[in-house]
Amino acid sequence: MNAPKLRAAESEAEVPEDITFRAAEILSEGTRMAAEVFAPQDPAEGQLPTIVMSHGWGGTAELLRPDAIVFAQAGYLVVTFDYRGWGKSDSRLILAGEKPERRDDKLIAQVKEVREVVDPLDQTTDIMNALHWVQAELRCDRDRIGIWGSSFSGGHVVHVSARDPRVKAFVSQVGAMDARWVIEKPPLRDSTFQQGTGRTRGTVEYPAPGAKFGSLTGFPVLEKLMGYAPIEDIDRCENCAKLFIIAEHEELFANQDHAIAAYNRAQGVKKLVMLEGIEHYGIYEEKRGEAQRHALDWFNEHLKTPRE
């Protein structure tokens, strides 16, 4: 029998009664990020293994709720959040117009939002700040923290794990591991360099909110992509247990150059799983349950089982 449902705060999503849910706020570089916290509805006190989840290109935390609920029901404290400028999070603000004016020890300035653009360096900073934030959660076991990322964020978890030793395990599903394609060939290389130059001189604006990049929502800050290559960070993840989940018929990039290449280069505990018969977005649809089971098995093994 299905458990009765409770409606999540300020949301149309429904959360089972065996899960506690609350909204929260995380400050990343001074900007408020909207977060959601899930945990088992367990009267027993004590710390829980913890998973921080991050969404992919153009996604929002709301889309991660089905996965967060599954992980919480399995005994995890789970945190999801919207990157700065996405979903319910506030936007990063930049100056517009003249130099700020100081009045009564306050700065008065005209500003504009940077919203719904894709910046992997900002996004990985947001994940690291979510990891800092979760340390103060009463039910967070600081010695048992994992991170989960999908699609573009499937590369982010590699970048973050290479820099934060508190991450004991990650799950990267259908992850892109190298954005240097923006400078491989003209004319895109020329456009990338020109946009970087223009932004530093104030002649090129940030992309419009939610602008399309091919079929994807959210135009990238191209000069930020040229410096983003998680494949180069995988060697620094030796002490983190690494699970890569890929789609057999991945159409957005070549698995061989991304997750498979990262897996082959990785040292330490690692695993590669291929979900058969699907393209990229099949991992959110017909194979979502299977992907959840692989992720949960991995986290159970490496966050719940004591290490020797």
Task: Break the chain down into helix, strand, coil percent, rounded to 5.
Answer: 30, 30, 40
Q: Hey, is 116 helix, strand or coil?
A: coil
Q: Kindly report the CATH number that applies to the domain delimited by 5-87+127-177+229-304.
A: 3.40.50.1820
Running along the chain, 308 residues long, what does each successive block of 10 average in pLDDT? 34 78 97 97 86 96 96 97 98 89 90 96 98 97 98 98 98 98 96 97 95 96 97 98 98 97 98 98 97 98 74
Cα separation values, 10 from 22, 23, 36, 178, Å: 10, 9, 11, 37
Q: What is the pTM of this model?
A: 0.93
Name residue 171's beta-bridge partners: 148, 243
Distance CA 141, CA 93 (A): 34
Q: What does the block give as tokens for 228?
A: 């983003």
Q: What does the block give as tokens for 51?
A: 């998973």
Q: Hey, is 111 helix, strand or coil?
A: strand
pLDDT score recorded for residue 4: 29
Q: What does the block give as tokens for 232?
A: 């180069």
Q: What does the block give as tokens for 254?
A: 């070549």
Q: Which amino acid would we find at residue 303?
A: L
Q: What does the block give as tokens for 69?
A: 């609920």
Angle (deg, nearest 10), helices 152-161 and 120-134? 60
Residue of 206, 169, 183, 204 lying closest to 297 (CA atoms) = 169
Distance CA 29, CA 14 (A): 31
